[in-house]
Structure 1
Amino acid sequence: MENYKPDPVFEKLGLDNGAPFYDPVTAAAFPDHTVRYRNQRWAEKVGLGDLSEEGWVSHFGRFEPLPDNLQAPVAIRYHGHQFRSYNPDIGDGRGFLFAQLRDEQNRLLDLGTKGSGKTPYSRFGDGRLTLKGGVREVLATEMLEAQGVYTSKTFSLIETGEKLYREDEPSPARSAVLVRLSHSHVRFGAFQRLAYEKNDEAIAALVDYCIEQFYPALAGKEGEDRILSLFEKAVQHTAQLAAQWMAAGFVHGVLNTDNMNVTGESFDYGPWRFAPIADPSFTAAYFDQTGLYAFGRQAEAGAWNLAQLGGALSLLAPVEALNEALRLFSPAYEEAMSDAFFRRLGLRRAGEGDFAFVTNFLRWMTETGAPYERVFFDWFCGSASEDRASQSPAAELYAQDKFSEIRDALSSAAPDRPERLARDYFKGAKPCTMLIDEVEAIWAPIADEDDWSAFRAKLEEIGRLREALGFDASRFIP
């Protein structure tokens, strides 16, 4: 553990046994511990790569404290709007903050859990996670990181030997506990709870924590400017996240205010989906019957959630100034859409007219029903891939007149690092995808025969995608 840098700073926020920010909790005692996934790549980045399997299980299955770290896990307190209805009865209900540490960039990172047992906020739940839910989260985070989305990383998945009963999947279901590595656990809902309690002092303390740990360049700001500057950063990074989801063809599914945080990091994967085509109405959750969080409405959801965060901060800053900051969302989103789509297409931005191209590109994708990931694969680096695109199963779409304007724009844009096309990934016949049928096909042999070969093969395929694209999605830029 040579490069392990513990820094459990969150516990310093709490007074009177953690109030009003968190509650100390105890992890569940599981009957069995079988490591199903270990993120060795990220373990090495945070100085935990040399842990033995026994040590891994000790810390991430039994939750024995890491050296010089939190001596007891803490369940973080928050409220939230869930499908636009305010809920004051939530918080960390099946997870907790287990440890904090610094990575090679000296960023503060959190190790948090999912399925680690009951907390004061479990309500009627059992505090557990199904193994299938854990497998799905591994697949989501690995795929999104490869595609350049700023996401939490699944750090560990351990099967725990319990049988769970769920309405939405065959029961009894196998159980697991998951550990995720995140840059921030500070959800919009944490501010909402403090505003609900009218605790101005605690809101100010949480603002100070966010600035010190995530946005140190704002440290010189004072008073209302301090609050407004933090809010502007949240607006900017939420816009970037929504744009990255769009470029990935990803639908989060449950964009409640307790599922968004101040650094704009994507996290907490439940009923997620990747869209097979550019369908704005495509939803991930079967219970999202009105399409509130549909593919084409994710930016709208982000802006609405930011308005709720602004409402909580209005206890300390003027409403009109917060509204003015919120109005930055639209131009930030347009800029971020241009960045995200040009990056995924392997092209350098030209400047003026970039967003118009993205708009036209998405319109063409929507009208033709072109396979989402296939188009990015076929036209990576623009003109440098024309021959590849002509051999694609989608070549007939590219030959149509309605694609000519898109083709011209792709061909005229300068390729960015075209040497990436020499990677084996781009010599293949098809892109790496993660559609729901594929996810179910990966899970089926695990459920039926405890056969993990398809799961491992998919992770290897995603690894080739990640290496070919060469995105630094892990880096947070304040």
Structure 2
Amino acid sequence: MSLWQQLPISHRYAALPQSFYTRVMPTPVDNPRWVTWNAPLAASFGLGETPDDIWQQIFSKGAMPDYFQPLAMKYAGHQFGAYNPALGDGRGLLFGAIADQQGRWFDVHLKGAGLTPYSRMGDGRAVLRSTIREYLGSEAMAALGNQTTWALGMMVSDTPVYRERVEQGALLIRLAETHIRFGHFEHFFYTGQHDDLRLLADKVVEWHFPELESSSASPREPVYLAMFEQIIKRTAGMIAFWQAYGFAHGVMNTDNMSILGQTFDYGPFAFLDDYDPHFICNHSDYQGRYAFDMQPGIGWWNLTALAQALTPLVDKGELETALQTYTVQLNQEYSRLIRSKLGLQQRRDGDSELCDALLKLMADNRVDYTLFFRRLSCLDQQPPELVTSLFENQAAAQPWLRQYLARCEQETDSTGQVRTVAQRCQLMRQVNPKYILRNYLAQQVIEAAEQGDFQPLEQLITVLRAPYDEQPQHQHYAELPPAWGKCLEISCSS
């Protein structure tokens, strides 16, 4: 008996009207086989340390067990600022939802499953290259402490997929607390299906924000407004994390924005190497709409698009008032994260200027973002010259470092005692990773995988799961990237 058959499986999304989705069976592939299985994640759901062969049966023989009910969700969205009504799950299927051992429900979504009514001009497939990147990206973000979707397992097949070149087809089992996006609300708003819009809002509250429900079933408008306020808060927190940890999403379309503020749809993403506030990770983003420093503003733009979609349910003025809290919340959370990375637990005059001066110095000198903060976290073990050596103009960095160290001497612990260097650095190493998913590391793993060698992938997954640990045996993963590794182009094609 399959372990999946023994799990509690919900089909709550499939119980919605058919205007929300289309039932679709996945298209079989040639010779599907496992690449990797997320055993720690699987254990939290009561699944085995090795994958169940039911997935191979589904994709080799089309044998769909009755405890799965695959469907393609319908939504819309703004892509690079332009509304597109024709969106939906074009290569992924929702199979149902399973509960972890804490009772939290997670969607089971299969990416690369084949054609759906929403595939448009695509083939419904995913390639090995992009599937590996999504697997690694979600593992890296989860380990860093960001709310994200998860990858449960990955398969490869002999089915060719045609992109810029012929590539191997791959399949990703993705888990997420929800796959509902801003674009779901936009679809029902722009098509005038306001009853379904209200039903969607009711289900989002029921499934994801039950604490917002009052004892009275009506009026509903305050509940919908409170839902929107939660989405604002979570989105602000997510983007503050991205900015503090140097993550560029690459395609912040509204159909890629989770209503739970979780990092979602890993396409042409990248973590910063050299600090460049104008960094563009997606080579198809010709206008720089989704550049690193544009992300906070795009988050607000996307929330305004969601607010527009909610106007049949909530007064427009109330929505606009709620939107005004976004920037405040984002800045507060970003400030908290950056101060923590600098080891400054207490707020003092001049801290903002100190941080701004640092970021300007780093941009002017193209300083590696992650390595700088990690070395700053190790001043109890290493000389300050290892920090300033990262700057092209070391003389310009030295005054800043002296000012920073003088500021650190004002930090006190809970008893009022001045916090020692060792105490401060120990706390800083808990929030400044030594290991991140650099583009060149992902590329090396992809190239090996395309030759049939998946050991480098497994090794990198192991490293990324403990980003704050020293892992001396894996030191080479924390070194500065080679010159070629900083110039890799990442596209939307997958």
What range is the shorter-chain TM-score in?
0.7 to 0.9
Q: Tell me what 1:458 maps to.
A: 460
- Structure 1 position 58, deviation (Å): 4.2
Identify the residue that residue 194 of structure 1 maps to in structure 2.
188
Deviation at 1:63, TM superposition (A): 7.8
Residue deviations 1:33-53 (CA, integer Å, cap 9, x gap): 111121111111122235654
Q: Structure 1 residue 436 and structure 2 residue 439: aligned?
A: yes
Secondary structure, in 3 states, of the residue corresponding to 2:120?
A: coil
* Aligned partner of residue 388 in structure 1, secondary structure: coil
Matched, 1:392 2:390: no
Question: How far, CA to CA, are the matches of 1:369 and 1:363 in structure 2?
Answer: 10
Q: Are the counterparts in 2 of residues 43 and 155 from structure 1 also a CA contact under 8 Å?
A: yes
Deviation at 1:246, TM superposition (A): 1.2
Please give the per-residue CA displacement for 1:355-379, whole angstroms capped at 9, x wherever unaligned.
Answer: 6665454334323322111022123
Q: Which structure 2 residues correspond to residues 368-407 of structure 1 after superposition, within 5 A? A: 368-380=365-377, 385-388=379-382, 390=384, 392=386, 394-395=388-389, 397=391, 400-407=398-405
CA displacement, residues 315-347 of structure 1 (integer Å, 9 cap, x when unaligned): 1111111000000101110122123334555x4
- Aligned to 2:172, the other structure's residue is in SS state strand
> SS where residue 285 of structure 1 aligns?
coil
Aligned-pair distance for 1:279? Answer: 1.1
Q: How does 1:206-225 map to 2 (within 5 A)?
A: 206-220=200-214, 222-225=219-222
> Hey, what does 2:448 align to over in structure 1?
445
Show the counterpart of 1:37: 36
- Structure 2 CA distance for partners of 1:210 and 1:79, relative to 1, 3 Å: same
Q: Out of 76, 87, 109, which is 1:79 matched to?
A: 76
Q: Give the whole-Å Cα distance in 2 for the aligned partners of 1:41 and 1:361.
A: 38
Partner secondary structure for residue 192 of structure 1: helix
Identity across matched positions, percent:
28
Structure 1 residues 152-185: Cα deviation after superposition (integer angstroms, max 9, x where no partner): 1111110021111112xxx211110111111111
Q: What CA distance in whole angstroms lies between the structure 2 residues aligned with 1:331 and 1:28?
A: 47
Return the alpha-carbon distance in structure 2 between the equivalents of residues 458 and 372 of structure 1. Answer: 20
Aligned to 2:21: 22
Name which of structure 1's ranges 98-107 and 111-120 shifts more when overlaid on structure 2.
98-107
Task: State whether residues 337 and 355 of structure 1, in contact with CA within 8 Å, keep that contact through their aligned partners in structure 2.
Answer: no
The CA deviation at 1:269 is 1.0
CA distance in 1, matches of 2:424, 2:47: 31
Q: Per-residue displacement from partner, 1:238-278 (whole Å, max 9, x unpaired)?
A: 11111111122111100000000110011111111111122
Aligned length: 452
Contact kept in structure 2, 1:63 and 1:98, CA below 8 Å: no
Instruction: Indicate how the Cα distance of structure 1 residues 310 and 37 shifts in structure 2: closer, same or farther if over 3 A, else same.
Output: same
1:474 maps to none
What do residues 254-311 of structure 1 show as CA deviations (whole Å, max 9, x unaligned)? 0000000110011111111111122111011111111100011111111100000000
Name the CA distance, whole Å, in 1 between partners of 2:376 and 2:166. 45
Q: 1:457 is matched by which residue type in structure 2? A: Q
Q: Secondary structure at the match of 2:381?
A: helix
User: For the residues of structure 1 that align with 2:353 and 2:227, how far apart are their CA atoms?
Assistant: 30
SS in 2 for 1:465: coil
Which residue of the partner structure matches residue 5 of structure 1?
Answer: 8
Mapped contact 1:389–1:395 kept (Cα < 8 A): no
Q: CA deviation at 1:211?
A: 1.1
Q: Which amino acid aligns with 1:388?
A: Q
5+ residue gaps, structure 1, are 470-478
Equivalence for 2:490: none
Change (3 A) 1:57 1:356: farther
Amino acid at match of 1:289: Y
In structure 2, the CA distance between the partners of 1:196 and 1:35, relative to structure 1 (3 Å rule), is same
Q: Quick one: structure 1 residues 23 and 4, their matched pair in 2 at CA, closer, same or farther if it must change by over 3 Å?
A: same
Question: Which aligned pairs between 1:233-382 and structure 2 lie closer than 5 A?
Answer: 233-344=230-341, 347=343, 349-351=345-347, 358-380=355-377
**Aligned counterparts of 1:91 and 1:172: Cα–Cα separation in 2:** 25
8 Å Cα contact 2:30/2:60 also seen in 1: no
Match of 2:102 in 1: 105
Q: CA RMSD in A?
A: 3.1
The alpha carbon displacement at 1:148 in A equals 1.7
SS in 2 for 1:11: coil
Is 1:60–1:156's contact at 8 Å kept on the other side of the alignment? Answer: no
Q: How does 1:89-100 map to 2 (within 5 A)?
A: 89-100=86-97
Letter in 1 for 2:40: R
Hey, what does 2:122 align to over in structure 1?
125
User: Are residues 57 and 393 of structure 1, via their aligned partners in 2, closer, same or farther at CA, if it must alter by over 3 Å?
Assistant: farther
**Is contact 1:113-1:177 (8 Å) kept?**
yes
**Cα distance 1:411–1:120, how it changes in 2: closer, same or farther (>3 A)?**
farther
Which of these two proteins has the greater Rg computed from alpha carbons? 2
Seen in structure 2, the aligned counterparts of structure 1 residues 409 and 126 have a Cα distance that, compared at 3 Å, is farther
Task: Give the aligned residue type for 2:166.
Answer: P
Q: Deviations over 1:2-31 (max 9, x none)?
A: 99432322222x22xxx2211111111111
Classify 1:377/1:58 alpha carbon distance in 2 versus 1 (closer, same or farther; 3 Å). Answer: farther
2:19 counterpart SS class: coil
Question: Deviation of residue 205 (structure 1)?
Answer: 1.1
Q: 1:405 to 1:204 in 2, by over 3 A?
A: farther
Cα distance in 1 between the residues matched to 2:363 and 2:59: 43
How far apart, in 2, do the equivalents of 1:33 and 1:371 lie?
A: 40
